[in-house]
């Protein structure tokens, strides 16, 4: 697992800017969009401010909290347009604690799964343990999971081993997979992006009886001089989170081979990518071609 130092867990404040631009070759007469345009409050994160700007100005902009506790925005634009731009600007304060791996090693993978099954909240357990549309646990996934999550393995060591195994066994390469890529495809391709690696981690965790959720968010894009720039920091990022006995969640990033720390900003979580797609919708148009441009900046601010 990649080395993390004490500074990676110090509290810090970030400005997050996420701009999404759709361009079409003909007018879009109406569009309906749903997206997660505000970071969520978590035990490790506090939202200081949040601003959403949409061009053209929407006819309807509504915010609600979804089933998973995420801030979901519904947008209607009925002004004809060939360019739609959605910009989210947030300031967040993050402070991730270092994970007590030795404490987790009091359980094995098997005993942890049993403890969660016997004492955990049944709704949460079922939500994040059962298969989901993009995380189908078939025999191939079970076989890969068994190679890294042995029932008798200490839980903390097993979480680290799973993170490292996916990082080692699969190459990070964009453009090879898409939102319809299955775990079976990934196991054959042996390459993909953070979304794919997160889905595989979830498949392995669920195969071992450990509830796992898909986390969507960001990484610091401009670390201080001398510090490593992480994969996925120039776009939205994804990682996995596993429920442990006692109700705590541990976030693991197989794309970068380490556990989440104060370089991570959380937007939303769910069962898989379909639950937390940053922006998706339906348009009415005669356009035959379109383009998508996404820009993300996560900049560390001076502490107040």
pLDDT at 257: 97
pLDDT at 6: 74
How far, in Å, are 163, 173, 228 from residue 2 at the CA level?
10, 19, 11
CATH of the domain at 37: 2.60.40.2250
- Residue 277 · residue 236 · CB < 8 Å: no
Are residues 168 and 224 part of one domain? yes
Question: How many CA atoms are closer than 13 Å to the CA of 205, on its beta-carbon side?
Answer: 38
Does 1 map to a domain? no
- Residue 243 · residue 120 · CB < 8 Å: yes
Structural domains counted in the chain: 2
Are residues 256 and 219 part of one domain? yes
pLDDT at 4: 80
Does 204 map to a domain? yes
Report the SS3 class of residue 38. coil
Are residues 109 and 28 part of one domain? no
Are residues 48 and 145 part of one domain? no
Are residues 198 and 118 part of one domain? yes
How far, in Å, are 193, 202, 276, 280 from residue 17 at the CA level?
21, 28, 18, 18
In angstroms, the CA 254 to CA 257 distance is 5
Does 290 map to a domain? yes
SS3 content of the chain, % helix, strand, coil (to 5): 25, 40, 35
Are residues 83 and 131 part of one domain? no
Closest of 233, 237, 232, 193 to residue 214, by C-alpha: 237
Would you say how long the chain is, in residues? 304
Does 252 map to a domain? yes
| Beta carbons within 8 Å of 216's beta carbon, 6+ residues apart | 36, 236, 237, 238, 266, 267, 268, 269, 273, 276, 278
User: 3-class secondary structure for 236-281?
Assistant: CEEEEEEECCCCCEEEEECCCCEECCCCEEEEEEECCHHHHCCEEE
Query: Using the 8-state DSSP alphabet, how is residue 42 labeled?
Result: B
Report the SS3 class of residue 215. strand
Q: Please name every residue paired with 135 in a beta bridge, in sequence order, or none if there are none.
A: 132
Are residues 270 and 135 part of one domain? yes
Closest of 273, 293, 282, 285 to residue 75, by C-alpha: 282
Are residues 228 and 217 part of one domain? yes
Flag whether the pTM goes above 0.85. yes
Range of the domain at 261: 101-276
Does 67 map to a domain? yes
pLDDT at 77: 98
Span between the terminal Cα atoms of the chain, in Å: 33
pLDDT digit of tens for each residue in the chain (304 aa)?
767 877 889 999 999 999 999 999 999 999 999 999 999 999 999 999 999 999 999 999 999 999 999 999 999 999 999 999 999 999 999 999 999 999 999 999 999 999 999 887 899 999 999 999 999 999 999 999 999 999 999 999 999 999 999 999 999 999 999 988 999 999 999 999 999 999 999 999 999 999 999 999 999 986 555 555 554 446 799 999 999 999 999 999 999 999 999 999 999 999 999 999 999 999 999 999 999 999 999 999 986 5
Are residues 184 and 136 part of one domain? yes
Are residues 218 and 105 part of one domain? yes
Are residues 177 and 151 part of one domain? yes
CATH of the domain at 232: 3.10.620.30
Query: Using the 8-state DSSP alphabet, how is residue 149 labeled?
Result: -
Are residues 236 and 192 part of one domain? yes
For the sheet containing 264-270, what is the strand order?
Answer: 258-259, 249-253, 237-243, 212-219, 264-270
pLDDT at 225: 54
């Amino acid at each position: 697992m990649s080395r993390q130092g004490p500074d990676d867990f110090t509290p810090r404040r970030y400005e997050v800017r996420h701009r999404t631009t759709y361009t079409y070759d003909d007018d879009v007469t109406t569009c309906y969009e749903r997206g997660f345009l505000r970071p969520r409050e978590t035990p490790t994160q506090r939202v200081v401010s949040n601003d959403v700007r949409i061009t053209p100005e929407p006819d309807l902009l509504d915010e609600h909290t979804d089933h998973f506790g995420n801030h979901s925005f519904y947008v209607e634009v009925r002004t004809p347009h060939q360019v739609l731009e959605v910009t989210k600007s947030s300031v967040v304060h993050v402070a991730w604690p270092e994970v007590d791996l030795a404490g987790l090693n009091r359980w094995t993978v098997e005993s942890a799964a049993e403890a969660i099954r016997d004492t955990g909240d049944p709704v949460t357990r079922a939500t994040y343990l059962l298969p989901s549309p993009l995380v189908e646990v078939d025999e191939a996934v079970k076989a890969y999971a068994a190679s890294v999550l042995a029932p008798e393995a200490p839980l903390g060591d097993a979480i680290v081993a799973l993170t490292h195994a996916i990082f080692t066994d699969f190459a990070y390469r964009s453009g090879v997979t898409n939102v319809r890529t299955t775990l079976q495809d990934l196991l054959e391709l042996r390459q993909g992006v953070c979304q794919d690696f997160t889905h595989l981690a979830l498949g392995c965790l669920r195969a071992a009886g450990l509830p796992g959720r898909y986390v969507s968010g960001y990484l610091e894009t401009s670390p201080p001089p001398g510090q490593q720039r992480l994969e996925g920091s120039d776009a939205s990022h994804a990682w996995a989170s596993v429920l442990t006995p006692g109700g705590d969640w541990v976030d693991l990033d197989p794309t970068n081979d380490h556990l989440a720390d104060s370089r991570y900003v959380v937007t939303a979580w769910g069962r898989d990518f379909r639950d937390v797609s940053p922006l998706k919708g339906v348009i009415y148009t005669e356009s035959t071609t379109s383009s998508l441009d996404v820009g993300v900046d996560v900049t560390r601010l001076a502490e107040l």
